[in-house]
Copies of this chain bind each other. A is one copy, B any other.
Amino acid sequence: MRLSVTFKMLVLTVVGFCCLHKHSTAQNIPVPNKQQLAWQQAELGVLISYDLHVLDTSKYVQNENRITPIANYNVFNPPNLNVEQWVLAAKTAGAKFAIFTVSHETGFSFYQSDVNPYCMKALKWKDGKGDLVQEFVDACRKHDILPGLFVGIRWNSFFGTYDFKVNGTGEIQKKRQAYYNKMVEGMVTELCTRYGKLFEIWFDGGGSSPDRGGADVLPIVKKYQPDCLFYHNTQLAEARWGGSETGIVNYPCWSTFAYPYIGAGESAPKEIGANDFALLKTGDPNGKYFMPTMADLPLRGAIGGHQWFWELADEKHIFSVNHLIDVYKKSVGRNATLIIGLTPDNIGLMPQPDIDTLAAFNKAVNELFGNPIASLKTSGKKMELEVPKGKKASYVILGEDLQFGQRVRSFQIQVKQKGSWQTAFQGSSIGNKFIYQFPTESAFNRVRLIINEAVEKPLISKFELY
């Protein structure tokens, strides 16, 4: 399998193994690189989505917006813009990282580009000197949030790019496609060299690749941001989309995958799109590529909503805290990284109802999982914990030492009831984190973890009761 991948992929994989060799003996299972490990261990991030159409308070209709340039880019004139407040909202949520949309599908870029004139230089706002990317990374670093950037290159209604392809015919199309690809490469170079260390770069809907007529972005990111999670193009995905925008992934959800990429648009392998993205939701325990899972959802996704972008009088779509906790358990608690979509409003602020919900969510997560009533860190195949007297265990949280790969394939959680061990849960994937909730009526004083099967020596880093 490895011999069939590109040289670049091979190099990356070898680098991964080299890092690993410092810590462990040789092994045959995929292991995360530095950025993948950090990204999985971060567990919770936010995506802050902003684009010109937020400012005009019109209804966002993606199909229309993708092909219709914004009538007046100087609609960008938010009177109260405060990027630090956005980042504080991420902090309030308990996020470890935040990702900001440098550009989305309008193609407008929220920084001082020297290769894309359709950027903040064009604005009257701040006399053309605005740079939301700079404000964003500065605020992130001030508040100990890891900054990532989301770059829309698949769609660009201003330039006329649709699903990577510059609309047009004949030589004009060819020349403008070549120009667009170079422009995108220039933008990625700017973003990778101007703003310090990035935690993740997220190509919206994926990136294309030169062999498919697209921009050649992978070598740029690898050159200038070797420790940045690359998500993703048709050559490489260092994380994978979880197959829905519900924030929930399947159980099991493996951190490994059979392909080094997840594709993008028409170029995605058909198997990946089949059965409503079943492969993305589940991953592949036998996959040769380490590829952790992103569970993403917009905060404003309740009661029929699904708003990545702020719209007027849309607060009703903010998810309840209960729903978000459920999502958390079914994403972070299933070995995925949860990314919640936030969006500042037309005056430039993260709306207070959204912040209140994020604060309540974080409080609830901390109340549930802030302090274990019992914990153990060991590496055996059978581990036991006692429920302290006077306490009741509602959850088990398990975790593997993921730097050495996802090793466990089968395990049992058992409880001692009336003197005998009963199997409460028969599981497969653990990964970075697995959360099991006991039935509420359950009463027991001991909990046992049994690893039944593992592809290498199981390395359990977390066995906790809450």
Q: Which residues in B have their C-beta under 8 angstroms from that of A121?
A: 117, 121-122, 128
Shortest distance in angstroms between A64's beta carbon and chain B's nearest beta carbon?
A: 9
Contact flags (1/0) for A36-59 with B, using CB distance below 8 Å? 000000000000000000000000
> A67: which of B74, B114, B160, B175 is its contact (CB, 8 Å)?
B175
Q: Which residues in B have their C-beta under 8 angstroms from that of A267?
A: none
Residue A167 CB within 8 A of the other chain: yes
> Are A67 and B182 in contact, CB atoms less than 8 angstroms apart?
no
Distance, CA A128 to CA B68, complexed state (A): 27
Q: Which residues in B have their C-beta under 8 angstroms from that of A69?
A: 175-176, 179
Contact flags (1/0) for A143-181 with B, using CB distance below 8 Å? 000000000000001101010001111111101100100
Residue A118 CB within 8 A of the other chain: yes
Distance, CA A119 to CA B124, complexed state (A): 13
Distance, CA A158 to CA B158, complexed state (A): 11
Q: Which residues in B have their C-beta under 8 angstroms from that of A173?
A: 160, 167-168
> Are A117 and B117 in contact, CB atoms less than 8 angstroms apart?
yes
> Are A114 and B124 in contact, CB atoms less than 8 angstroms apart?
yes
Distance, CA A117 to CA B120, complexed state (A): 9
Shortest distance in angstroms between A355's beta carbon and chain B's nearest beta carbon?
A: 33
> Are B168 and A160 in contact, CB atoms less than 8 angstroms apart?
yes
Distance, CA A155 to CA B296, complexed state (A): 44
Distance, CA A459 to CA B199, complexed state (A): 82
Q: Which residues in B have their C-beta under 8 angstroms from that of A171?
A: 67
Q: Which residues in B have their C-beta under 8 angstroms from that of A114?
A: 74, 122, 124
Distance, CA A118 to CA B158, complexed state (A): 12
Contact flags (1/0) for A118-139 with B, using CB distance below 8 Å? 1101101000100000000000
Shortest distance in angstroms between A55's beta carbon and chain B's nearest beta carbon?
A: 15
> A162: which of B73, B172, B179 is its contact (CB, 8 Å)?
B172
Given the contacts A128-B128, A160-B160, A169-B167, A68 and B175 also touching, CB distance less than 8 Å: yes
> Are A169 and B168 in contact, CB atoms less than 8 angstroms apart?
yes
Chain B, residue nearest A173 (CB): B167
Contact flags (1/0) for A59-77 with B, using CB distance below 8 Å? 0000000011101111000
> A71: which of B157, B169, B179 is its contact (CB, 8 Å)?
B179
Distance, CA A175 to CA B170, complexed state (A): 19
> Are A117 and B73 in contact, CB atoms less than 8 angstroms apart?
yes
> Are B67 and A172 in contact, CB atoms less than 8 angstroms apart?
yes
Q: List 29 A-B contacts (CB under 8 A).
A: A67-B171, A67-B172, A67-B175, A68-B175, A69-B179, A73-B117, A74-B114, A114-B122, A117-B117, A117-B118, A117-B122, A119-B122, A121-B122, A121-B128, A122-B122, A128-B128, A158-B179, A160-B166, A160-B168, A160-B173, A160-B176, A167-B167, A167-B168, A167-B170, A167-B173, A168-B168, A168-B169, A168-B173, A169-B169
Binding site for B on A (CB under 8 A): 67-69, 71-74, 114-115, 117-119, 121-122, 124, 128, 157-158, 160, 162, 166-173, 175-176, 179, 182
7 nearest interchain CB pairs?
A117-B122, A69-B179, A167-B168, A167-B172, A117-B117, A68-B175, A67-B172
